[in-house]
Chains A and B, each alone.
Chain A
Amino acid sequence: MNLENTKAQMRKGALELCILSLLQKQDAYASDIIAHLKKAEMIVVEGTLYPLLTRLKNAELLAYRWEESTSGPPRKYYSLTEKGIAALSELQASWNKLVEAVSKTTKN
């Protein structure tokens, strides 16, 4: 049994929810999302994020647009789609249920 692995799996499961809710507040580009997630200690290495973002985009939960940047080439700004908003509320509800269930079982 590898505890590190389990912890990583837990984080990975909740990662999609975190990304979607971050983007609900405001559109962001990859580095912003990373900065937030790192601060919250949701991710350890940044590499995890890119495949996930692309997967969400391919599932049409996210969309992106190019925006000019003052300090370099254009940046990719991600935003939530209609489908993404629906998915977020569903995930949010299921998360709440999970938290409730987990706290119920762990609190004797």
Chain B
Amino acid sequence: MNKTLNINLGGFIFHIDENAFYKLERYLETLKIQFKSTEGGSEIINDIEVRIAELFKDRTGPAKDVISLTDVEEVIGIMGEPEDYLDADEEPKKQNSHSYKSNSKRIFRDPDNSMIGGVASGLAAYWNTEPTWIRLLFLALMFSGFGFLFYIIMWVVIPKAKTTAEKLQMRGAHVNVSNIEKSIKDDLGNIGNNVKDFAKKATEYDFKKHNNQIGDLFSRIGDFIIESFRLIFRLIGKLFGFFFLLIGFLILISLVIGMFAGSVEFIGSGYGISDFFDWIELVTIGQNHYNLILAGLILATIAPFFLIIYLGIRLIFNLDPLNKPTRSALTVTTVIGLALLITGSVKAGLQFDRNAHITETVDLPSHSHYHLKVLEDTIARTYLNDFSSDWLQTNNKNAFSFVELDIKQAPGNEAYLKIITEAQGPNRKEARKNTADVIMEYKITDSIIEVPLYYLLRQNTRFRGQEINISLYLPAGSSVYLDETMADIIYDIDNISNEWDWDMIGRTWEMTPHGLNCQGCDLPSQYLEEETETDSSNTSPKETEPVQKSKDTISENQQLAALIPLSNNFKITI
């Protein structure tokens, strides 16, 4: 028993066996490919179809209703193999005859049994299972959030089975592959068969035609090797397909989870995807600018993402290459996406064009010893407890640990703090305004100075590179203890014992006339010599040095002045 199909060929209706139909469809398909680039190609195909219809008509009658596989084979024998159609001056193309013979299964969306887009039914047809199972799987994936996205992608990527041939291919009428695992097994089996075939041919050759040319044997060995390689590559291709799909899925899953839960971290950064979007919001001007960058990001990532998944599916399922409209659409989205991203980035960059700062001076109560530590609150403690990044979001507030502290010698006898708040903006005026968006707190209780480790950005304001530089000015003779908590904010503090910042914490430092020195340490030798000198002249070296410098500059100026009169005279004469 055979299933039959009804076809319209050259204006005639034929009943044709399913397997015969498949062969005929393949044949015509191959001819179409062959004549695709020929002028009047579709006309040639049309003529051929009419002729085949005539030949079929001769083979059917009252006694015989159905076109069988034999009929099709006979007709193809009459019409000739695709290679025979080539003009004499054209080289026969090997691939064409190959594609005619290959009849592997392909993935299509099944429009006949579809619920939404026919993706599940198509997959079910490919794997020879009930669509219900696939649908349940999709439904399960739907709950985890990315099933929907995956469905849409499959819907776009997999073509719909339009012709009967495609529907047959979808079910794999000829290659009986029930699932991916089996198809890989088949591939392995094919390699095995190939070996067997070859062995058989080789033995036949040896015993029956051993007086033939040796070259024939070599060409067979060559064919065998090429065929084996082809099969091995197909197998590797499928493995790559899985790999690509896996990567695509992982990206998809992490994107979706990150978008909704914000819990996925970029490797090692401590920030998640939702933080990334918050960050964009912080550096942009307003909603429109944010949307511009967001649209750019989405458009620019569509193509690579789509291609990874497409490639994965294609390698596994034997899908057609991307068609031209899709390719140009992907190019367009990428170009537009990149353009939007660049525009958005430049626009954001301009917000950081100019610098401005405001200075605040805080007098300290008179003491000979101070204790310097970080003002510890909940946020500061988070920073101190191994949060290594600068930007911290808590309760919808943005904290930045862009705070630095330096210790310098006070010119007078009073100790004081100088707090410089810096910010950037598109122009100086805006930059100056942006310094005011910073909220920070310091506390001075008697001799204990508590400085901020971070600042908070005022609600609904944007980050504009705000930075706080605190300088503690100590008069000579006073000392300061650097608490362990200071480790993160002290920055390149000049000291005459030349200790690195990380060696300075947990110790007391004394302000000598030469600069900061660790308490109890001896003055370095070069200062000791100077000290004896300065003792005799009764002025501190700190004071003499600038005097000497200014002397130098004066003498330079005098030299310059000697040169200037010439030009002055010259001016006068004019």
Q: Is the CB of B88 within 8 A of A50?
A: no
Q: Is the CB of B78 within 8 A of A72?
A: no
Given known A-B contacts A31-B54, A34-B51, A45 and B39 have beta carbons under 8 A apart: no
A29 to chain B, nearest CB (A): 9
Q: Is the CB of A58 within 8 A of B39?
A: yes
Q: Is the CB of B10 within 8 A of A50?
A: no
B38 proximal to A (CB < 8 A): yes
Query: In the assembly, what is the distance between CA of A50 and CA of B44, in Å?
Result: 6
Contact among B38, B78, B81 for A51, CB-based, below 8 A: B38
B308 proximal to A (CB < 8 A): no
Q: Which residues of A contact B40 (CB under 8 A)?
A: 54, 57-58
Q: Is the CB of A30 within 8 A of B80?
A: no
Q: Which residues of B contact A71 (CB under 8 A)?
A: 57
A78 to chain B, nearest CB (A): 10
Query: In the assembly, what is the distance between CA of A73 and CA of B11, in Å?
Result: 6
Mask of A1-35 contacts with B, CB within 8 angstroms, 1/0: 00000001100110000000000000000110010
Q: Which residues of A contact B82 (CB under 8 A)?
A: 47
Q: Which residues of B contact A58 (CB under 8 A)?
A: 39-40
Q: Is the CB of B47 within 8 A of A46?
A: no
Q: Which residues of B contact A75 (CB under 8 A)?
A: 50
- Closest Cβ neighbor of B11 among chain A residues: A73
A55 proximal to B (CB < 8 A): yes
- Closest Cβ neighbor of B35 among chain A residues: A51
Q: Is the CB of B47 within 8 A of A47?
A: no
Q: Is the CB of A73 within 8 A of B10?
A: yes
B84 proximal to A (CB < 8 A): yes
Given known A-B contacts A54-B43, A55-B87, A44 and B51 have beta carbons under 8 A apart: no
Q: Is the CB of B47 within 8 A of A50?
A: yes
- Closest Cβ neighbor of B41 among chain A residues: A54
- Closest Cβ neighbor of A34 among chain B residues: B51
Query: In the assembly, what is the distance between CA of A55 and CA of B43, in Å?
Result: 11
Contact among B12, B48, B53 for A50, CB-based, below 8 A: B48
Q: Which residues of B contact A55 (CB under 8 A)?
A: 39, 87
Contact among A30, A46, A52, A73 for B78, CB-based, below 8 A: A46
Query: In the assembly, what is the distance between CA of A6 and CA of B57, in Å?
Result: 35
Contact among A13, A34, A51 for B85, CB-based, below 8 A: A51
Q: Is the CB of B44 within 8 A of A54?
A: yes
Contact among A34, A45, A76 for B84, CB-based, below 8 A: A45
Contact among B11, B35, B47 for A72, CB-based, below 8 A: B11
Contact among B12, B48, B54, B88 for A47, CB-based, below 8 A: B48
A53 proximal to B (CB < 8 A): yes
Interface centre among A44, A46, A71, A72 (most CB of B within 10 A): A46
A48 proximal to B (CB < 8 A): yes
Q: Which residues of A contact B140 (CB under 8 A)?
A: none
- Closest Cβ neighbor of A75 among chain B residues: B50
Q: Which residues of A contact B10 (CB under 8 A)?
A: 72-73
Contact among A12, A13, A31, A51 for B51, CB-based, below 8 A: A31
Q: Restricting to B55-74, which residues have a CB under 8 Å from any CB of A?
A: 57
Can you sample 15 A-B contacts with CB below 8 Å? Answer: A8-B88, A34-B51, A46-B51, A46-B78, A46-B79, A47-B79, A48-B80, A50-B47, A50-B85, A51-B38, A51-B86, A54-B43, A55-B39, A58-B40, A72-B54
Where the two chains meet, the residues of B that have a C-beta atom closer than 8 Å to any C-beta of A are 10-12, 35, 38-40, 43-44, 47-48, 50-51, 53-54, 57, 77-82, 84-88
Where the two chains meet, the residues of A that have a C-beta atom closer than 8 Å to any C-beta of B are 8-9, 12-13, 30-31, 34, 44-48, 50-55, 57-58, 71-73, 75-76
Known contacts A51-B44, A72-B10, A73-B11; 4 additional CB pairs below 8 A are A30-B51, A52-B87, A71-B57, A72-B57
